[in-house]
Amino acid sequence: MTQKNKPNKKPRWKLLHQYYSYTGFYSFVGKSLIKAALPIILFIIALICVHFFVIDINDILTYVTDNFHPIGVLAVFFASESILGLIPPEIFIAWSGKSAHPNLYLTAIAFLSYFGGIVSYFAGRGIASIPSVFVYLEVKMAKHIKNMRKWGGFLIVVGALLPIPFAISSIAAGVIKFPFKSYLLFGLLRFVRFLLYGIMIFGALN
């Protein structure tokens, strides 16, 4: 008797590809990229237009640099990144570009953004332990939490790289108790975003 050949199992990457295709992850990323591109382009165009036709951006940034202590500016940024990303990071990247030590401050805000995400992650963990708040958040962030449960780390990657508030992805990760070590690993891509944005904005201001 001849033994029937067992069907070959598909490689893990193919199975993951099928899963993300079926669940709409690629469609979500594509739409997010389109949504992300427009604000970035508009911000840079607006920055250039204001710089050349309204007021010298360098003068505004120099005023902020001369009249506000860097620790205060960095503290405001950290608070923003820890609470839903209320202020666009691009403003602080532009500020760092005109400071006395641009690379130092760009690195500092990248780290603060990363640590702000960690604060948001643990805020999500805390929220998950309060039933009434958890139910409220499940309604307000239903779509994001649902996506986090489906895609996990890949949604953290999207939040780290794209102009989607990183804090929201981090809170959602905390709510579903996504493994903290994995969260830290995926969140490192936050540094890539600040590097790329720094290159674009520094170039626009020079």
pLDDT digit string, tens, across residues 141-151: 677 777 777 77
Q: What is the pLDDT of residues 87-103, one digit of tens each?
A: 778 888 888 887 878 88
Confidence of residue 32 (pLDDT cuts 50, 70, 90): low
| pLDDT given at position 66 | 72
Question: pLDDT value at position 190?
Answer: 92
Residue 4 banded pLDDT, cuts 50, 70, 90: low
Q: What pLDDT, on a 0 to 100 scale, did the predictor assign at position 75? A: 92
Say yes or no to pLDDT of 132 above 90.
Answer: no
- Classify residue 2: in a domain, yes or no: no
Task: Report if residue 18 sits inside a domain.
Answer: no
Q: Is residue 14 part of a domain?
A: no
pLDDT the model gives residue 206: 57
Residue 44 maps to a domain: yes
DSSP 84: T
Residue 97 lies in a domain: yes
Residue 23 within a domain: no
The rounded distance, in Å, linking the Cα atoms of 177 and 165 is 19
The Cα-based distances of 111 to 12, 31, 65, 72, 102 in angstroms read 33, 28, 20, 16, 14
Q: Please indicate whether residue 188 or residue 1 has the higher confidence score (pLDDT).
A: 188
Of 167, 149, 178, the residue nearest 77 (C-alpha):
167
More confident residue, 16 or 127: 127
For 56-114, write each residue's pLDDT tens digit. 666 776 777 777 788 988 998 999 899 877 777 888 888 888 787 888 999 999 999 99
Residue 181 lies in a domain: yes
Count of all residues that appear for the chain in the document: 206
User: Model-level pTM?
Assistant: 0.71
pLDDT range class, residue 203, cuts 50, 70, 90 = low
- Does residue 162 sit within a domain? yes
Instruction: Report the domain count for the chain.
Output: 1
* E strand or H helix at 5: none
Range of the domain at 59: 28-205
Q: What is the pLDDT confidence band of residue 1, given thresholds at 50, 70 and 90?
A: very low
Cα-Cα end-to-end distance for the chain: 78
User: Which of the 8 DSSP states describes residue 138?
Assistant: H
* Residue linked to tokens 């102009």: 163
pLDDT tens per residue across span 154-188: 888 888 887 777 888 888 888 888 999 999 999 99
